[in-house]
Amino acid sequence: MKQKRLVMQTIQAVLSRLRIVTMYLILFVGVPSSLQAAPFILSQPVALPAEVVTQLKSAQPGTGHRWQLVVFGFTHCKDICPMSLANLSILVKAAAVEQIDLGGVFVTVDPDRDSHAQLASYIQGFGSDIAYLRFEGETLAHFKATFGVEAVFFTKNAGNQSSYQVDHSTTAFLIDPAGRIRLIFDALEDAAQLAKLFRENRALFAS
């Protein structure tokens, strides 16, 4: 539990720093929006708790030495999640060109509507290297908390269990084969820069 709290605090500190820097650029520097997005490489990799590493590896069995891109979402998402997964698919292919073994993991924040069958069908169109994870209750809460991810449900109540909306972050994570967070990025905005990093920062993937 102590390790998990430390991981959560570290990720939250990094995300807070990213938000502060972004707001500074927008308000005071006036950097064009096209230049604001940038993957954040952690100077000190953050080791995930052992149970979280095991859960991530269970999404893609037999790929113990693989890097993983982790993104959160839900299958009823009309545009953000499909775009995020399309970017993950592009990044997996870009990594393969550089001989980097990389897979993507889509974690649903809405297990009440996202069955295993729905998730399997949903990710099928994004390539065989994109997998999914589905948790419920406290297991999901702990997994999201480890990554500092929150989801807000609108109009979900006893009388509406199917047509509600979900708001969640597009923050994604690059995890190394040892189960350490190496990089935090925006799944919508940072794909091009991350693909460039695959080409130009090979040292990251050798460490």
Which tokens go with 167?
């708001």
Cα separation, 201 vs 133, whole angstroms: 29
Is 77 part of any known ligand binding site?
Answer: yes
Cα separation, 173 vs 4, whole angstroms: 16
Is 116 part of any known ligand binding site?
Answer: no
Is 81 part of any known ligand binding site?
Answer: yes
Cα separation, 184 vs 69, whole angstroms: 10
Binding site for Cu cation, residues?
Answer: 77, 81, 168
Binding site, residues?
Answer: 77, 81, 168
